[in-house]
Every structure is written in structure tokens, then in C-alpha cells.
Amino acid sequence: MGYTFDFGAVFDRAPELFWGSLGTLGLAFAGMLLALVIGILGVAVRTSKIAWVRAPVIAFVEVVRNTPFLVQIFFIYFALPLMGIRLNPTTTAVIALGINGGAYAIEIIRGGVESISKGQIEAGFALGLHKADVFRLIVLKPSLRAIYPSLTSQFVMLTLTTSVCTSIAAYELTSAAQRIESDTFRSFEVYFTVTAIYLVISSLMMGIFALISRSYFNYPTR
């Protein structure tokens, strides 16, 4: 085929790609943190024995998991202002990413919590620990360990999902790429470059996740 690659035009815009990448990293990081908090708190409530305590969390999970992220971010960005809550694109993006990731995290972590043997929880109670302590000190860590790869996969996915935030004009890698593409018409070069950058970012994340797991889950198992 006659297509000749020319990355020059793309590399000329390296600073934009750099700032875009930082934007993506920032959104991903903040979104992940929020998602983790929502996930852990949510699962604590989700595994309650009392049905009406569980119910709102279940509803939250079902609604968020089963609707597209785009719809959620549109809702927060465009519909909330009609009710008087106006958030800027970056805040919107972080909240949307956190809520979305959090809903998945709740379910993933629940899988881990339910893999903990009843005996562990009973032992905690028998020692006189309160429910919250049993969850925090006894259940949480082994649960997270059991589903760690699923959870980190979800976080990698969340990192890639930041690209959707371009649709509410948040500044991140994909929106930078789209501008460069529309200015240079070098679609292939732009896509390949951006793909490579995403790969670097997510590999970095996976590396960090692996380090965390090595130091946090360093206990042997039988």
C-alpha cells in the first residue's frame, strides 16, 4: 500500500501529548482513589445482614454497573446543573470515574469477602471485636488479596476509561490526540503514538500494583 508513515507532525506536538498524559494520569489516579474508598465502604454496607441497609448499595451497584459510563458522565455534567449543581469538567470526570469504578469495585471486593471462611469472622467475634474491626482488621486484607488481580484489572480499565471524559471537554490524552489528528490528518500516526502512551501508562500502573501487592500481601498461605 502506498501509505507512508510520517510521525514528524505528531512528534512536533509532543508537549501537548505530555500534558494530555499527565491529565489522564491525574484523572485515573484520583478516580481510582475514590473508587477504592467507595468500593471498601460500599462492600462493608453491602455485606450487612440487614436487608434495608444493603438495598441502597445494591441499587447503586446495579444502576451504575448496568448503564454506560458516557450516560453517567453526561448526567453529572449536563443534568445536575439543571438541579443547581454545577461541576467543572475535571471534577465531573473524577467523580464519574470514582462512582463508576466504585460500583465495580464493590462487587469485586464482595467476591473476596465471601471467600473468607466463616471461621475467620467467628474467631474475630469470639475475641470480642466489633463488626467494624472484624471487617477492617480480619476480613479486608485477605479479601483484597483474593481478588487483587480483578481489582487492578478494573483499575487499568478505569485508566483507559478516562478517554471518555473527552466528551465533556475534560483535558486528557485522547482529547489532545483528537486535536492533533484534526490538525494534521495523520490518524494512524496519532493513534499508534497514543496507543503506545496508554500502554506505557497502564504498564506503569500494573508495575505499581505489583509492588503494592508484594509489600502488602507478603504473608504466606497454605
Partner 1 sequence: MGPIGENELFFLLQGLKWTVLLAIIGFIGGGVFGILIALVRTSKHQFARLASSGYIALFQGTPLLMQLFVVYYGVALLGIDVNAWVAVAIAFTLHASAFLGEIWRGSIEAVPKGQTEAANALGLHYVSRMRDVVLPQALKISMPATIGFLVQLIKGTSLAAIVGFIELTRAGQIISNQTYRPLLVFGIVGIIYFMICWPLSHVGSGLEKRMAKAAR
Partner 2 sequence: MEGAVLNSPNDHSTLISLDKVEKWYGSFHALKNINLSVRKGEKIVLCGPSGSGKSTLIRCINALELIQDGNIVVEGQLLDGTTKAVDAIRREVGMVFQNFNLFPHMTVLQNCALAPMRVRGASRADAEKLARKYLDRVRILDQAEKYPAQLSGGQQQRVAIARALCMEPKAMLFDEPTSALDPEMVKEVLDTMIGLARDGMTMICVTHEMGFARQVADRVIFMASGEIVEEAEPEIFFKNPKHDRTKAFLGDILAHH
Partner 3 sequence: ASVEEIKSKGTLVVGIQGDNAPWGFVNSSGKQDGFDADVATLFAKELGVKVRFQPLAVANRIPALTTGKVDILFATMAMTEERAKSIQYSKPYAANTISLYAAKADAVKSTADVAGWEIGVPKSSSQDKAVTDAVGSTATIRRFDDDAATIQALISGQAKAVGGNQFYGQRLDAASAGTYERKIDFLTTYNGVGTRLGEKDWNETVNAFLDKIKGNGELAAITKKWMAIDLPTFPESIPNIPFTVK
Contact footprint for partner 2 (CB under 8 A)? 117-120, 122-131, 133, 137-138, 141-142, 145, 217, 219-222
Question: Does residue 168 bind partner 3 (CB under 8 A)?
Answer: yes
CB atoms within 10 A of CB 68: 10
Q: Which entry of partner 2, partner 1, partner 3, none binds 185, CB below 5 to 8 A by partner kind? A: partner 3
Question: Does residue 184 bind partner 3 (CB under 8 A)?
Answer: no
- Cell (9 digits) for 29: 489516579
SS3 content of the chain, % helix, strand, coil (to 5): 80, 0, 20
Question: At closest approach, how far in Å is the CB of 56 from partner 3?
Answer: 27
Question: Does residue 33 bind partner 1 (CB under 8 A)?
Answer: no
Nearest Cα residue to 43 out of 92, 116, 96, 95: 116
Question: Does residue 189 bind partner 1 (CB under 8 A)?
Answer: no
Question: Does residue 79 bind partner 3 (CB under 8 A)?
Answer: yes
Q: Single out the residue of 136, 160, 179, 181 in contact with partner 1 (rule: CB under 8 A).
A: 160
Q: Is 204 left (phi over 0), alpha (psi -120 to 50) or beta?
A: alpha
Site string for partner 1, 44-63 (x = CB under 8 A): ------------------xx
Indicate the burial class of 102 (C-beta count within 10 angstroms; 0-12, 13-18, 19 or more): buried
Q: Is 63 left (phi over 0), alpha (psi -120 to 50) or beta?
A: alpha
Q: Which residue ranges make up the site for partner 1 (CB under 8 A)? A: 1, 3, 62-63, 65-71, 74-75, 78-79, 104, 107-108, 110-112, 114-115, 117-119, 145-154, 156-157, 160, 163, 188, 191-192, 194-195, 198-199, 201-203, 206, 221-222
